[in-house]
Amino acid sequence: MDMVPLLAFPIGLIAIYFALFHAEYLLISLFFFTPISVNIEEWTDGFGLFIPTEPLLFGLMILLVWRSILTKTFPSYLLKNLIVISLISYLSVVFLTSVLSVRPLVSFKFLLAKLWFIIPIIGFGTKVFENKKNIKTALWLFSIGIIISIIYTVTHHAMYRFGEKESHWVMSPIFKDHTIYGAMVAFTLPILVALYFYRKHSLLLSMIILLLVGINLTGLYFSYTRAAWLSIFAALVVWGLIHFRIKFSYLLAIALIGIGAVLFNWNDISYAMSKNKKEHTTEDFGERLQSATNVTTDASNLERINRWSCAIQMFEEKPWTGFGPGTYAFEYAPFQRPENLTIISTNFGDGGNAHSEYLSALSETGIFGLLTFIFFVSMIFYKGITLYYQLEEKDSKILVLALILSLTTYFVHAFLNNYLDTDKAAVPVFGACAMFIALEHMEVRSKK
């Protein structure tokens, strides 16, 4: 550990040089570093920070804000884009609810963390991605970073004969647990497939990409992450809907029926929680997939319902403002009902958060926080899908479709987990948004 300051100094100087003179290279490099960044929380007294990504993002944010005061730094067309408009509306609610938070310091720290992802990646990244080569480079770097993390994890996992229990932590310290690891491995799969079909490759490069796809699928399988597996099936469904141009009204009807079915059966689901407290552990793909589709089968799924129930009760107590951004882990414990507790329940928030991006927004920022977050997610897919239909160049369409499907895997996964406050999810998700915005701007400009 004594060598860390000595190593950090020259690395810091290099980062400062690139930030000042080649900020675009530093931004693109973040796509490689994100999948292999390390959380120093394991070596500090509860201080969590992903190295090197979060310090680089924070530094870039400060630099870009300072530059914007002196000169035009951010593209003017940003404020006209629906993705940015929806994101600003969501951040406005986050700011207001931070002011009214039960823990203002926690909430403003949460807001600051959001900004150090959004300002560099969307504010500056959009300008960087106006060069289409930078999009391809960023996707390649992110994919390579994920492959490195998969090789590390699978190799480590093999030492324990691919045991299911060990799968929960063998990716540490790169990923916190198998759920975020599985989510990002699933996110990368459509990108790798797109890179295979993107232009004509040499036989050697084609074989290398197929090998990377194989490594990705291996990592996905041995992640034992049911939500990640299901998110791939959801992405295939979305691909079919886009390919066959299914009307949006049909999709809305299906979504409303699904939500209605959950609400109608909520009492049965809650009752089942008290009937099954066992923790389900199996390495069989079929059994785990069946478990994922039946929320009443094991303690892992039941604990999610426990957390969801707490989030809903928190919303009922503070429906308009929520408890404050980032406060769920500190406030949910009193809302746990004895009959809902499982063998893996905890009062300290160390077993995960609200286990849902949507319910997390609802409990922490109230009804307007949830609505603006859904508005943001809707605009991502609306702009992505409309851009796909507008584009005429095959290669650009392939990349956009891959990003839509990758985002589908995350936002489907987001019903069961929430990771958008970490670099692992924020960089690729907001990066995809920046790519959509840049590609749309280039398409509009080319037609003028």
Return per-residue pLDDT of the chain as tens, 448 residues.
445 455 555 666 676 766 666 789 999 999 999 999 998 877 776 667 888 899 999 999 998 889 888 887 788 899 999 999 999 999 999 999 999 999 999 999 999 999 999 999 999 999 999 999 999 999 999 999 999 999 999 999 999 999 988 999 999 999 989 999 999 999 999 999 999 998 888 999 999 999 999 999 999 999 998 889 999 999 999 999 998 888 766 766 776 676 667 556 655 655 554 554 544 555 555 555 555 444 545 667 788 888 999 999 999 999 999 999 999 999 998 998 887 777 777 776 665 688 899 999 999 999 999 999 999 999 999 999 999 999 999 999 999 999 999 999 999 999 989 999 999 999 999 999 999 999 999 998 887 6
Tell me if 48 is assigned to some domain: yes
Q: Which domain holds residue 403?
A: 3-147+223-248+354-447
Alpha-carbon dihedral angle through residues 134, 139, 141, 147, given to the nearest 10 degrees: -170
Tell me if 159 is assigned to some domain: no
Tell me if 243 is assigned to some domain: yes
d(CA 166, CA 219): 14
Tell me if 284 is assigned to some domain: no
d(CA 435, CA 407): 12
d(CA 82, CA 47): 36
**Domain tally, the chain:** 1
Tell me if 373 is assigned to some domain: yes
Tell me if 259 is assigned to some domain: no
CA-closest candidate to residue 364, choices 109, 23, 12, 60: 109
Q: How many CB atoms lie within 10 A of CB 207?
A: 11
Tell me if 318 is assigned to some domain: no
Helix (H) or strand (E) holding 51: strand 50-51
Tell me if 317 is assigned to some domain: no
